Amino acid sequence: MDYSQIITVEPGKRGGKPCIRGLRMTVTDVLEYLASGMTAEEIVAEFPNLTVNDIHACLSFAADRERRLTVVSRP
């Protein structure tokens, strides 16, 4: 999924964290709701400015970031 038009970063908003469409909802917020057991539909019902596509964009963003994560092992 191309999340580049959905996930935005603005230095003055939420400390420069990745947000959804310029809203004050961060990718981390959405991931934490999902991790707590909420479904995408429940999140959208709770936050009507969001769409299920926004939730999918957050997951794609997180997966892409995880893919690029480098772990340095210590001796």
Which residue reads 């969001």 in tokens? 50
The domain ranges of the chain are 7-67
CA 25 to chain centre: 8
Tell me what pLDDT residue 69 has. Answer: 79
pLDDT in tens, 7-66: 999 999 999 999 999 999 999 999 999 999 999 999 999 999 999 999 999 999 999 998
CA 73 to chain centre: 28
List for the chain the helix, strand, coil content (%; round to 5): 50, 5, 45
Give the CATH number of domain 7-67.
1.10.10.10
What span, in angstroms and rounded, lies between the C-alpha atoms of 64 and 13?
22
Residues 17, 27: contact at Cβ < 8 Å? yes
